[in-house]
């Protein structure tokens, strides 16, 4: 059991990193990685939502969708769970932790359309048939992997600010090439 969980964790964070090898959550990965502080904020918000979303959708899937033989409704139900969750987290933070809210607030609405969240949920429940504990671990570690990747990229981008780059490669092109290099580094884990 423990070995299995460790395997899921390492695989989700390093080997099959959600951003660098599964290509999920690319929009925020490119969009909010300009500064390390905002990247870390986005990572935290995503981690929170993904872990919660994994838990809730697993329960809904098992006790409602499977029980009533309605698995074909999964995509639509899951996306609404995620949207509702994001809304809920936003309201709760605003009320109880205004400081955290002002730090994460602007990223929260973006999470609904972050495909890493829906992707992780669908992979855990539909493709891998994980149990509840495995699903939670998988979602949490996938989010940690996302956070790791976005922080790494933001570090590179902060340095690129002062680098001399040919004009046509400035902006997204050079960011994508940087992401490619980080992805190659992560490929090293696949040969372990």
Partner 1 sequence: MNKGNSALKMILTLVVIAAVIALAMSYVNRLTAPIIEQNAKDKLNQSLSEVLKADEYTVLSENDEAVVYGAIKEGQQIGVCVVNSAKGYGGDIKVMSGILNDGTVSKIEILEMSETPGLGANAGNEKFKAQYEGKSENIGVSKTNPGKTDILAISGATITSKAVTEAVNDAIVIAKQWGDK
Partner 2 sequence: MNNFTKGFIKENPVLVLLLGMCPSLATTTSVINAVGMGLSATAVLICSNAVISMLRKLIPQKVRIASYIAIIAAFVTIVEMLLKAYLPELSEALGVFIPLIVVNCIILARAEAFASKNEVLASIVDGASMGLGFTFALIIIATVREILGAGTWCGLSVFTSGYQPATMFILPAGGFLTLGIILGVINLIKEGKKNA
190 binds partner 1 (CB under 8 A): yes
Angle at which helices 36-60 and 115-122 cross, to 10°: 30
Contacts with partner 2, 81-100, as mask; x by CB under 8 A? --x-----------------
23 binds partner 1 (CB under 8 A): no
90 and 105 in contact (C-beta within 8 Å)? yes
Show Cβ contacts of residue 109 under 8 Å, excluding neighbours closer than 6 positions.
86, 90
**Residue 26 contact, options partner 1, partner 2, none, Cβ 5-8 Å cut-off depending on partner type:** partner 2
The closest alpha carbon to 110, from 45, 17, 176, 34, belongs to: 45
**Residue 192 contact, options partner 2, partner 1, none, Cβ 5-8 Å cut-off depending on partner type:** partner 1
Contacts with partner 2, 24-53, as mask; x by CB under 8 A? xxxx--x-----------------------
Q: Judged by CB, which is closer to partner 2: 75, or 97?
A: 75
Candidates 95, 159, 164, 167: give the one binding partner 2 (CB under 8 A).
167
Helix, coil or strand: residue 70: coil
Selected range binding partner 2 among 45-53, 60-68, 138-146, 178-186, rule: CB under 8 A: 178-186
- d(Cα 107, Cα 38) in Å, to the nearest integer? 9
DSSP sequence for 45-62? HHHHHHHHHHHHHHHHII
Q: How far is the CB of 178 from partner 2 (least distance, A)?
A: 8
Candidates 5, 11, 34, 155: give the one binding partner 1 (CB under 8 A).
11
Candidates 10, 60, 79, 160: give the one binding partner 2 (CB under 8 A).
79
Residue with tokens 């609404």: 80
DSSP one-letter code for 112:
T
Show Cβ contacts of residue 168 under 8 Å, excluding neighbours closer than 6 positions.
none
Structure token digits, residue 86: 């994001």
Q: Judged by CB, which is closer to partner 2: 98, or 173?
A: 173
Which residues are near partner 1 by CB under 8 A? Answer: 7, 11, 15-16, 21, 72-73, 76, 127-128, 190-192
């Amino acid at each position: 059991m423990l070995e299995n969980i460790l395997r899921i964790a390492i695989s989700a964070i390093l080997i099959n990193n959600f951003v660098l090898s599964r290509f999920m959550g690319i929009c925020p990965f490119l969009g909010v990685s300009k500064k390390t502080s905002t990247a870390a904020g986005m990572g935290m918000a995503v981690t929170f939502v993904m872990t919660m979303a994994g838990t809730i959708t697993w329960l809904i899937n098992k006790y409602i969708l499977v029980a009533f033989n309605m698995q074909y409704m999964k995509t639509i139900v899951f996306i609404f769970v995620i949207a509702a969750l994001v809304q809920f987290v936003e309201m709760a933070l605003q009320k109880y932790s205004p400081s955290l809210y002002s730090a994460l607030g602007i990223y929260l609405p973006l999470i609904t359309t972050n495909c890493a969240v829906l992707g992780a949920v669908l992979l855990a429940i539909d493709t891998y048939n994980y149990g509840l504990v495995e699903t939670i671990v998988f979602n949490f570690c996938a989010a940690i992997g996302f956070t790791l990747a976005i922080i790494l990229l933001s570090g590179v981008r902060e340095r690129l600010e002062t680098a001399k780059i040919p004009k046509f490669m400035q902006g997204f092109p050079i960011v994508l090439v940087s992401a490619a290099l980080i992805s190659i580094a992560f490929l090293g884990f696949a040969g372990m």
